[in-house]
Amino acid sequence: MYAIVDIAGQQFKVEAGKQVFVNRQAAEVGAALEFDKVLLLDNEGKVNVGAPYVEGSKVKATVLEHCKADKVIIFKKKRRKGYQKKNGHRQYLTKIQIEEIA
């Protein structure tokens, strides 16, 4: 059984017991989260597609940790002009574990 769920504006394919990195959530470590924006629900081949969301379905998750993603280097250069610009960015993430799809 899996579901396609909308979490903070992004869509994720989740299954019970899996761990997912999502954008930073405002919840403490160990807190329970509940997502009700389920776009698609697949139960052993029986697919239920929402319009836009599947009624009465929820995904329950637990916050495992807050972390940062790997650094992304942004490097800009214009040839023969002596212009170079280097910048870096690390996205804030939350690691959650999917407990149940109901």
The amino acid at 36: D
Q: Are 21 and 28 in contact (CB under 8 A)?
A: no
How large a percentage of the chain has pLDDT more than 90?
95
pLDDT of residue 6: 96
Least confident of 2-6, 48-52, 62-66, 91-95: 48-52
E strands of the chain, at which residues?
Answer: 2-7, 10-15, 19-23, 32-35, 38-43, 46-49, 59-68, 72-78, 83-89, 92-101
From the CB of residue 30, how many other CB atoms can be counted at a distance below 10 Å? 9
Average per-residue pLDDT for the chain: 95
Range 11-34 average pLDDT: 96
Q: For residue range 68-97, what is the model confidence (pLDDT) as tens digits?
A: 999 999 999 999 999 999 999 999 999 999
